Amino acid sequence: MQNQWVGFWTASKGPASEGPQGKLDSVAGWLWATLVLVTLWRVWAAWMLPVTQDEAYYFDWARSLAWGYFDHPPAVALFGIGTRLAPAAAFAGRLGTILAATLLLVVLVRLYRACNLRGNELVVAVVVACATLPGLASGVLATPDTALGLAWALALHEGLAALRGERRRWLSAGIAIGLGLLSKYTMVLIGPVFLGAILWADPKALRTPWPYLGGLLALLVCGPNLLWNAQNDWLTIRFQFGHGFSTETGTLVTNSLPVPTGDHKVATTLSSEHRSVAEGLGGLLDFLGTQIALWGLLALPAIAGLFRRHGAGPKQGLTVFDPAARALLVTGSLFPLAFFALVATFSEVEPNWPVIYLSAAAPLVALAAARLRMWVLAAAGGNLLLVGLYVLHGSTGSLPLPDGYNRILRETHGYSELAQRVATLPGPLFSDRYQIVAMTRFYAPHRQITQWPGISRPSEYLRGTIAPTATRKRIEQAGGFWYLGRRVLPMGIPGFSLRSQNSLYYCMNGGLVETPTGAAQPCPDPLHRWQLFAYTADGMW
């Protein structure tokens, strides 16, 4: 029985063998310990942390499954289907994410074994892959990145086998790519990675049909989403292209509600102004600094190992990657980083966009830092502890952190009470931001609320599929509407007049407090301040 458990981790068509049975058992024990510890930590964190704003948005999609949405392809909605079991429970919605992250860890073990990593190197690679800050978060927060990471690792695993001569495996790699495209369009970057690896390790493969058939399979697998986009004016692709490259890609056609007048309207598209050379360099340096910071404490042994290996030359007993593994790992690490580094010179790059490179980078770092194993394990434990403390703070607000580090509290706290406050308001309810709409609908699923168009960036709510479309005629029949937002001054909305305005404060120690607008704040540093406006259709009063 023991050998069967060991074989789960070691079975592979790669060329390596572990050597003595005692050493193999030790490695398998470390791998099992890593899997169990990380998974238990993720379960605890997912249970403790209240729902975040984007998660509430994705969980709303899960209640209305489709082949596409305004912001992303459908995988994140499918992974959040557990929210149907308990509509206002974040943990239920995160079950799919926890499962995907656990499967990702298993796939990475198989991939690294196939790369010929063994002993300490294998353990270090797995620890590095799952103990960076993105690695920890990906198994807790429900985002498209977890599904993308799983598909990316599967594609690398199959691509490695194909580069070693099993060229028909480009078909299974293509299926993995298609699944990744159903998760996030960043998966398209695997194409240049594979092309570079083929040119490096197996250029003759380009004379066979298998890589091209794999690409065709990828298109077929993601075909339903492409068809959905074609039927919806290429909505998701236009949004993602504009979001990623700060370009004008058109606007979302919305309903007949009037656009607010005056100075209250904000931009609904990203700026496309050209950056200066200095601004571009600053964006690049900021990008690189952020990527290093995402390693957390692991950055220290990783950098030390890279310098040590470079300065002292190859060490006896350490893995030497074969051409296929070297080609795949190097291109898989460098291309995503280089691509987004280039994008950072002329557009804003979010920190999570390039983290797919970590799957391929972990074995390279492990090889460099294999002789610093204890330092790597200590740094990984430090990351686990620090992120765990931040999760605890996000749940309780118990740590005395500066306000700049309290984004997690603003993301998660106060919305349950806010939803209860507006749940019984008569008539239609709107907000300017999709985040407020999502959180209200998460905590009060039966309260109809949607986004008013033309105020902030559009979202899936303006399509009228997951939330009811509110027309001007319906609002006039109701006599008016309520508007919930962060703007202190009321908006001028043609055909409607302001009837009342109250301020809603959320204080960490005092809960939700409602006061007339202009009254003193109920606490020195409220976590939130919302405004609740009541509008009446002209001629009704």
Q: How confident is the model at residue 326 (pLDDT cuts 50, 70, 90)?
A: very high
Helix (H) or strand (E) holding 430: strand 429-431
Span 222-250, mean pLDDT? Answer: 84
- Judged by DSSP in three states, 481 sits in strand
Q: What is the pLDDT of residues 248-300, one digit of tens each?
A: 554 554 556 777 766 554 444 444 456 788 888 999 999 999 999 999 999 99
Distance CA 226, CA 221 (A): 10
Please give the residue range of the domain that contains residue 484: 413-537
Q: Are residues 23 and 71 in the same domain?
A: yes
In a domain, 82, yes or no: yes
- Which residues, in sequence order, are bridge partners of residue 498? 535
pLDDT at site 61: 96
334: nearest Cα among 357, 368, 318, 312 = 357
State the pTM of this model.
Answer: 0.91
For 376, residues 6+ apart whose C-beta sits below 8 A from its C-beta are 124, 127, 128, 298, 301, 302, 366, 369
pLDDT at site 476: 82
Q: Are residues 305 and 345 in the same domain?
A: yes
Check whether 540 has a pLDDT greater than 60: no
- Judged by DSSP in three states, 246 sits in coil
Number of domains in the chain: 2
Distance CA 335, CA 338 (A): 5
In a domain, 266, yes or no: no
Q: How confident is the model at residue 22 (pLDDT cuts 50, 70, 90)?
A: low
pLDDT at site 404: 78
Q: How confident is the model at residue 443 (pLDDT cuts 50, 70, 90)?
A: very high
- Give Cα separations from 227 to 151, 221, 232 (angstroms): 21, 11, 9
Q: Are residues 61 and 206 in the same domain?
A: yes
Inter-residue contact 459 to 434 (CB < 8 Å): yes
pLDDT at site 359: 96
Q: What percent of the chain has pLDDT over 90?
A: 66
Q: Which of 335, 363, 393 is the last residue of a domain?
A: 393
Distance CA 359, CA 361 (A): 6
Q: What is the pLDDT of residues 155-202, one digit of tens each?
A: 999 999 999 999 999 999 999 999 999 999 999 999 999 999 999 999
Q: Are residues 107 and 165 in the same domain?
A: yes
Q: How confident is the model at residue 10 (pLDDT cuts 50, 70, 90)?
A: very low
Check whether 132 has a pLDDT greater than 50: yes
- Which residues, in sequence order, are bridge partners of residue 261? 492
Q: How confident is the model at residue 246 (pLDDT cuts 50, 70, 90)?
A: low
Q: Are residues 369 and 453 in the same domain?
A: no
In a domain, 33, yes or no: yes
pLDDT at site 144: 96
Structure tokens at 53: 């704003």
- Which residues, in sequence order, are bridge partners of residue 415? none
Place of tokens 């460098």: 334
Distance CA 115, CA 359 (A): 12
Q: Are residues 293 and 230 in the same domain?
A: yes
Distance CA 358, CA 297 (A): 15
75: nearest Cα among 167, 168, 142, 164 = 142
Flag the least confident range among 187-196, 318-327, 442-451.
Answer: 318-327
- Which residues, in sequence order, are bridge partners of residue 511? 507
Q: Are residues 298 and 419 in the same domain?
A: no
Q: How confident is the model at residue 401 (pLDDT cuts 50, 70, 90)?
A: confident
- Judged by DSSP in three states, 177 sits in helix
In a domain, 241, yes or no: yes
More confident: 236 or 468: 236
Inter-residue contact 123 to 373 (CB < 8 Å): yes
CA–chain centroid gap for 249, Å, is 23
Check whether 403 has a pLDDT greater than 90: no
Q: Which of 363, 393, 423 is the last residue of a domain?
A: 393
Q: Are residues 336 and 435 in the same domain?
A: no
Q: Are residues 360 and 499 in the same domain?
A: no
In a domain, 468, yes or no: yes
Check whether 357 has a pLDDT greater than 70: yes
Q: How confident is the model at residue 307 (pLDDT cuts 50, 70, 90)?
A: confident
The backbone torsions φ and ψ at residue 283, rounded to the nearest 5 degrees and listed phi first, read -65, -40
In a domain, 265, yes or no: no
Alpha helix locations (H) across 222-322? Answer: 223-231, 235-245, 277-293, 299-312
Span 341-351, mean pLDDT? Answer: 93
In a domain, 42, yes or no: yes
Structure tokens at 174: 């293509």
Distance CA 79, CA 59 (A): 9
Q: Are residues 367 and 422 in the same domain?
A: no
Q: Which of 333, 365, 393 is the last residue of a domain?
A: 393
Q: Are residues 144 and 223 in the same domain?
A: yes
pLDDT at site 265: 47
- Give Cα separations from 510 to 53, 439, 469, 504 (angstroms): 22, 20, 35, 12
Mean pLDDT of the chain: 88
Q: Which strands sit side by side in the sheet containing 480-485, from one edge to the other?
A: 449-451, 429-431, 480-485, 528-537, 496-507, 511-516
354: nearest Cα among 521, 188, 186 = 186
pLDDT at site 267: 44
In a domain, 208, yes or no: yes
Q: Are residues 57 and 153 in the same domain?
A: yes
